[in-house]
Amino acid sequence: MKSNLAELSETELANMIENAQKALKEKKENKRKEVMTKIKELAASIGVNVDITEGTKASGRKGSKVPIKYQNPNNLSQKWTGRGMKPKWLQTLIEQGHRLEDFEVKS
């Protein structure tokens, strides 16, 4: 095999990259297995049984959207979910004598 990458053909470089990616994936998988085995051994040494669930990632919020609860009938782009502080447009309308219920979005 040639030592200078610039001298390799595109096919040779592509093969080298593919083989390197396979080798890296294999090393990561072996390391992962070793770590899981070690975790189970350490847990067993203190009398704890560990069940490792694969393929799941811990995550924070799922990012689901909150439905709109209130909308300004005079300006349909002004919406509020009912969470957090009332928007200024809604505060102003309530101060003018309107009720919060007047702006509820009917489903």
**pLDDT recorded at residue 16:** 93
DSSP letters of 42-91?
A: HHHHTT----PPTT----S---PPPPP-EEETTEEEEEE-S-SSPPHHHH
| Whole-number percent of the chain with pLDDT over 70 | 91
Report the 10 Å Cβ neighbour count for 103. Answer: 19
Looking at per-residue pLDDT, the higher value among 67 and 3 belongs to: 67
**pLDDT recorded at residue 51:** 84
Query: pLDDT of 32-71, one tens digit each?
Result: 999 999 999 999 999 888 888 877 666 666 778 889 999 9
pTM metric for this prediction: 0.44
